[in-house]
Amino acid sequence: MGLDGGGPQLVLHGRRGEAGNVDVQLRRLLIRRLAVGLADLVAAVGAPVVREHFLHVPGAVLLVGGHEVVPGVIGSAAAAVLGIEGEAPASYNSLNDTNYLEQLVEGDADILLAYAELDKLDNLGLAYIPLIRSPFVAMVSMDSPLASMKSVTMDDLRSYRFVKFADGYSLSGWTNIERVCQEHGYTPRTRAVLGRTYMNYCAIPLGVEDVMILQASMPQLRYLSDFSRMTVLPVTDDDAAFRLYAIYKKDNYERVRPALDAYTRARKIILNHGKGGTLVDSE
């Protein structure tokens, strides 16, 4: 996902065949790996897209269009689901790197990990489980009237100009931001900025009326205010967050259930290790 909240979009693409049963030991291994993997995903959710990968596992392929730290984590998880160890990822550059939902609907993929507009899924015959939740934070100039505040609400941002990254990679994140603004009764004014991988957000000058929405889980946030004339403010509204879901075709539930079960178990482990984190607690 882009640091402004675009999305890691990870597709578990199953070659037709049995998903396989995972014995108790492999399930435990998978849960541990996914627990660590999802924690890494929360921490690294701001890393930019650099390429896509096919992770080749006998019986399944994982198509990854997200940050580069994820493929190894998800690949080992997919291997454990199938009771297989030690498959290395191979690079693959997809020509269709944006329309992941279509790949899911057409049966080219089994599971999509993405930020999504949930109201559209049911009409497409899709279902989902929640994975992570990363709250909004607002980065503003130290000269902004907001800079003296300890936190803000979406209503506080109503009259400000939102930085919108003008690239396909950041699109899903912006859609999320815009939807939250509209739910609070306004359409945000925007300032278009060309996005790119490994974006230095401190290098983007912010005027006194500008606000940049980022993710609370972005590791770089701890350094931004130390090395720039910026300050980062939590956005306190419950709905002001980027949410990542595991999306699947309803008709395909039995096939993907072992993987969904593993994601759910891993998520519970992380939640049990600390409340108030960045995972989705409920919907």
pLDDT tens for 184-216 read 999 999 998 876 655 667 678 899 999 999 888
Domain boundaries, the chain: 9-132+244-272, 134-234
Which of 8, 247, 249 lies closest to 105 in space, CA to CA? 249
- Pairing assessment for the beta strands 49-57 and 9-14 based on DSSP bridges: unpaired
Which tops the pLDDT comparison, 247 or 272? 247
Q: Which amino acid, 2?
A: G
pLDDT at position 273 over 60: no
Give CA 222 to chain center in angstroms: 20
Q: Is 247's pLDDT higher than 60?
A: yes
Stretch among 24-33, 103-112, 114-123, 243-252 having the lowest mean pLDDT:
24-33
Rounded to the nearest integer, the mean pLDDT of the chain is 67
Question: Buried b / exposed e across 25-42, counting CB within 10 Å, b at 16+?
Answer: ebbebbbebbbbbbbebb
- pLDDT of 234 > 60? The answer is yes
Asked which of 40-49, 206-215, 237-246, 248-257 is least confident by mean pLDDT, the reply is 40-49
Cβ contacts of residue 165 below 8 Å, gap of 6+? Answer: 2, 4, 6, 173, 174, 192, 193, 194, 195, 199
- Grade residue 13 by pLDDT with cuts at 50, 70 and 90: very low
Terminal Cα distance for the chain, rounded: 21
Low-confidence winner among 31-35, 76-80, 144-148 (lowest mean pLDDT): 76-80
Looking at residues 33-54, what average pLDDT do you find?
A: 45
Residue 216 confidence (pLDDT): 83
- Say which residue, 251 or 133, is predicted with more confidence: 251
Region 75-95: what's the mean pLDDT?
Answer: 42
Say which CATH architecture domain 134-234 belongs to: 3-Layer(aba) Sandwich (3.40)
Q: What is the per-residue pLDDT for 34? A: 55
Q: What percent of the chain lies above the pLDDT cut of 90?
A: 23
pLDDT over 70 (residue 268): no
